[in-house]
Amino acid sequence: MDKVADLKEKNEGLNCEDEKSIKKCDKLNAQKNEIRAEIRKIVMLPDNVIPFLSAGRVLRVKSPKVDWGWGVLLNFQKTKINIRDKRKPVGYSKSYGENGAYLLDIGLFVKNKVSVANEL
């Protein structure tokens, strides 16, 4: 209990003289992160990415749960996705809609005996 009392004393002793500017700075950082996320969404749209895809380009491959690392683009093609089909490809997003999506063939270095079935 002595530690709790000591920590309470230290907490009471802390004074922030410029709390308003710290709050403003924190708010600006949050706003900056939101803007970066919006810019990333725009940059990653297929119409903006397709001109830069060519065989041999090095790409970073990430899914929501697994970071696959860097790989080499071997080929890509535009595909139509049947929205009614229950078997959607990994990474399918409704944002592609009727226009389809692009299927990328990427060569990755993968270790032997890695079980990623549970992580997808």
Convert the pLDDT of each residue in 34-69 to its tens digit: 999 999 989 888 788 888 889 999 999 888 888 889
Q: Where are the beta strands (DSSP E) in 4-110?
A: 58-62, 67-79, 101-108
As given in the structure block, the two tokens for residue 28 are 């600006």
In 3D space, the residue among 116, 79, 76, 73 whose CA is nearest the CA of residue 96 turns out to be 79
In a domain, 116, yes or no: no
Percentage of the chain exceeding pLDDT 70: 75
**Against a cut of 0.75, is the pTM above it?**
no
For 62-88, the pLDDT digits (tens) are 888 888 899 999 998 887 766 566 565
In a domain, 113, yes or no: no
Q: Which domain holds residue 84?
A: 52-108
Amino acid identity of residue 109, one-letter, is F
In a domain, 119, yes or no: no
Helices (H) and strands (E) in the chain, counts: 3, 3
Does 56 lie in the same domain as 30? no
For the chain, the domain total comes to 2
